[in-house]
Structure 1
Amino acid sequence: MKEKTGLTKNRREFLQQLGMAATIPLLSSFPLSAMQAEKKISKRKENKLGVALVGLGSYAEGQLAPALLQTEHCYLAGIVTGTPSKIKPWQERYGIEDKNIYSYENFDSIANNKDIDIIYVVLPNSMHAEFVIRAAQAGKHVICEKPMATTVEDCDRMIQACTKAKVQFSIGYRLHFDPYHLALTKLVKENSIGKLKSMSAGFGFSIAPNVWRLDKTLAGGGPLMDLGIYCVQAFCYLSGKEPLAVTAKEGVKTDLKRFKEVEQSISWTFEMPDGIIAEGSTSYEDGMNFINAKTEKGLFELKSAFSYNGIHGKSSLGTLDFKPTNQQALQMDDFALCVKQNKLTRVPGEMGKRDVKLLMAIYEAAKTGKRIVL
């Protein structure tokens, strides 16, 4: 999506089709009675920051909104949608006031709403830049879903807009707050089982046809943009290092109709500092969800590594076992605290830009067959 202003009928139709119903539970999976919702809402405190969700697709509906009933430092104050039929159910479930409901056309007037402190952009990838920039211009702090954008140039524009407006800007990297991922990052950082030697990670599933994620204009690419980015992220935060070079190869397409515009699968190899090799793979057809790593003195792994819950982990030191947490609630609470305390988020726009740059390099390596120096 290249246009930067306005909202065409075509875009509105895509917005109404957001999400991956086959993989993300819908709001109906999180039933709350009116009394329960009212009780949750009544617990709001004056020092809680108000969050407005922009885009009410599956992720906003099934994950973010329910998580905002569990947060301590922020709450769901507003919504932005191009689908009027969604307004009443959201109001009834979350007690959202009429004055805190916006369309994409009147979105900019949110600047005058003191109930809204943070705007969370949960739109198709190609629309991230437009609405992050508009949110910043409205003077609101911003969280943007991953990937940050579909081009590095858009990433630059988003960062510049937030810097100019003096607002905080964060990317929705939920796994930076997950206890399993944090534990393995600490294990490597403290050199508990020797220096890291190699890593491998994969994330994939079979995607339904006719969803916006298969539209290259909206998504910017296929599973690499949506799922492979988790593997790219993991290689960086687990090692504490950034890749030096990459080679890659696109997989064979077995469904030319479904994957007319984007890759069905892709694999790549990062050359990292200190001789570390990181091999990643992602697919919109084959199921995979893991992280494995070898060190000088042992190994570690995560299964269901990138899921919202149900992660299992172990290392040479033993099994990892943590009580269930809500990754999205932890993520949003952390950002709210950053805003309150005027401190930098651990997942800033600059990190999002780095990752988009790495994704583009993987695509270039796969297209040209060359080793791309980063």
Structure 2
Amino acid sequence: MAGAGLVTASLFSPCAIAFNKPKERLGVALVGLGYYSTDLLAPALQKTKNCYLAGIVTGSPEKAEAWKNKYNIPDKNIYNYKSFDQIANNPEIDVVYIVLPPVLHKEYTIRAAKAGKHVFCEKPMAMNARECEEMIRACKDNKRSLSIGYRCQHDPNTQEYMRIAREKRLGNVQLISCAAGYRESRAGNWKVKREMGGGAMYDMGVYALQGARLAAGEEPVSLTAQHVTNRPEIFSDADEITHFQLHFPSGAVASCTGSHGIQTNFLKVNYDKGQLHMDAFSAYNGNKGFSTLGEIRYPVDNQQAKQMDEDALAIMQNKPQLVPGEEGMRDIRIVEAIYQAAKTGKTIKLG
């Protein structure tokens, strides 16, 4: 496989130096077997070329047995949350993919890094920027790679509107409108529990934030925000809808929404020489749109497979990840400021 021979000892633990032949595929263990792992990541790992489903970590014996039978996972590659650290002794598992509620992201990233495993971590990266810093530090100290699960940055449709901004093919960005949301009605789900990392801003608002940042091609310098709650019987703790407004150094302004109350997914950009409209812009498949330059429609067979293949290849080639921990932390700093703005009603300046 192209690139497999470029693995160097600098990125792998000392024990890996004993292997004369580099791996052609990396073994991935999924941590947490909820909807995203079950319906999306596991099927995607049946399509990947640079990595494969090697193991699982779950607190449910019933799920462990079902996955063992469905994917032919050997008993030695099945862990629970108490035995997780023993994964350090398993050379078949190279990468741990953390698909748990955000409140657990820091703990399992650090434990994985200390066990000598590379880390893919789902978004949002963590509960706050301090936790992000600890995760980044743990991976660097243990010479492990850390990538955040921003699948959209691997999508060529996203890369196209990033390119338009970067190359200023339609001039300067003036106005951005962006929203991502669905209607969450599960009262007991962790996504409506703030202490677990739930809330519209953390879950769906990060997509809108990413859309605005990437379409602008620059980082915001100040923001304002507002929360809206229409169903307090469900959203007594976490935000149901968060509107936020970003101001960029060029003078561009973005009006964004992250929602657990409205089904929406679009990105609109006005430039001084044209416009762009993506609908959808951050869906699992079928992202498409158009700009003054023409249609934007690059079909992707499987976003998650593309994401994991490219992240695995970066590890094997000892190259930087497309979406490293620093990118996840950049968003979390802004998310924290958005909550502060919504609480105080003030404009928050970003450093």
TM-score normalised by structure 1 residue count: 0.86
Pair 1:198-2:175 in alignment = yes
Partner SS for 2:144: coil
Alignment pair present for 1:246 and 2:226: no
Match among 81, 97, 116 for residue 58 of structure 2: 81
For residue 233 of structure 1, what is the amino acid of its counterpart?
A: Q
Q: What is the rounded CA distance, in whole Å, between the counterparts of 1:281 and 1:321 in structure 2?
A: 24
The answer to whether 1:184 aligns with 2:184 is no
Shift of 1:139: 0.5
**Does structure 1 residue 359 correspond to structure 2 residue 335?**
yes
Given candidates 120, 139, 149, the residue that maps to 1:162 is 139
Mapped contact 1:54–1:120 kept (Cα < 8 A) = yes
What's the CA shift string for 1:130-161, capped at 9, x where partnerless? 00000000000001100110111111111111
Q: How far apart are the structure 1 equivalents of 2:79 and 2:259?
A: 36
Match of 2:76 in 1: 99
Instruction: Look up the SS of the partner of 1:167 in the other structure.
Output: coil
Q: Which runs of 4+ in 1 moved over 6 A?
A: none
Task: Please give the alpha-carbon distance, in whole angstroms, between the structure 1 residues aligned to 2:219 and 2:319.
Answer: 24
Q: Which runs of 5+ in 1 are unaligned?
A: 1-44
- 2:102 corresponds to 1:121: no
Q: Does 1:273 align with 2:249?
A: yes
Tell whether the 8 Å contact from 2:222 to 2:349 is kept in structure 1 after alignment: yes
CA RMSD of superposed structures (Å): 1.2
Q: Is the 8 A contact 1:50 1:74 kept in 2?
A: yes
The CA distance in 1 between the partners of 2:343 and 2:140, in whole Å, is 34
Identify which of 304, 309, 312 aligns with 1:328.
Answer: 304
- How far 1:46 sits from its partner (Å)? 5.0
- Cα distance change on mapping 1:306 and 1:367 into 2, 3 Å: same
Q: Write the letter of the residue equivalent to 2:155.
A: D
User: Partners of 2:270 and 2:246 in 1: how far apart?
Assistant: 15
Aligned match for 2:149, one of 160, 163, 172: 172
**What's the counterpart of residue 47 of structure 2?**
70
Residue in structure 1 matched with residue 196 of structure 2 by the alignment = 218
1:121 to partner: Cα distance: 0.3
Q: Deviations over 1:281-335 (max 9, x none)?
A: 1221112110000001110011122110122210012222222321111111111
The CA deviation at 1:179 is 1.6
Contact 1:180 1:320 (C-alpha < 8 Å) held by counterparts: yes
The letter for the 2-side match of 1:191 is K
Q: Is the aligned partner of 1:286 residue 2:286?
A: no
Q: Does the CA contact (< 8 Å) of 2:287 and 2:297 recur in 1?
A: no
> 2:28 aligns to what SS in structure 1?
strand
Identity %: 43
The gaps in structure 2 that reach 5 residues or longer are 1-21
CA distance in 2, matches of 1:203, 1:103: 34
User: Residue 142 of structure 1 aligns to a residue in which SS?
Assistant: strand
**Cα separation, 1, equivalents of 2:262 and 2:298:** 28
Aligned partner of 1:309 in structure 2 is: 285
Shift of 1:371: 0.6
Please give the alpha-carbon distance, in whole angstroms, between the structure 1 residues aligned to 2:214 and 2:41: 23
Letter in 2 for 1:168: S
Q: Which residue in the other structure is 2:321 paired with?
A: 345
Verify the 8 A CA contact 2:98 2:120 in the aligned structure 1.
yes
Instruction: Give yes or no for contact 2:288–2:298 (8 Å, CA) kept in 1.
Output: no
Counterparts of 2:108 and 2:96, CA distance in 1: 9
For the 8 Å contact 1:178–1:325, the answer to whether it is kept is no
Q: Distance in 2 between matches of 1:84 and 1:357?
A: 37
Amino acid at match of 2:84: F
Q: SS in structure 1 opposite 2:203?
A: helix
What residue in structure 1 maps to residue 235 of structure 2? 259
Matched residue, 2:210: 233
Q: 1:344 to 1:324 in 2, by over 3 A?
A: closer
Once residues 65 and 83 of structure 2 are traced to their aligned partners in structure 1, the CA distance between those partners, rounded to angstroms, is: 18
TM-score by length of 2: 0.91
Other-structure match for 2:271: 295
Taking the aligned partners of 1:153 and 1:195, their CA distance within structure 2 comes to 34
- Aligned length, in residue pairs: 328
Partners of 2:128 and 2:348 lie apart in 1 by: 17
Q: Are the equivalent residues in 2 in contact too, given 1:247–1:362 (CA < 8 A)?
A: yes
The one-letter amino acid paired with 1:148 is M
* Alpha-carbon spacing, 1:167–1:60, altered in 2? closer, same or farther (3 Å): same
Letter in 2 for 1:217: E
Q: 2:86 aligns with which of 97, 109, 117?
A: 109
* Deviation of 1:61 (Å): 0.6
Structure 2 letter corresponding to 1:70: K
Counterpart among 145, 151, 165 of residue 128 in structure 2: 151
SS of the residue corresponding to residue 254 of structure 1 reads coil
The aligned amino acid for 1:268 is: F
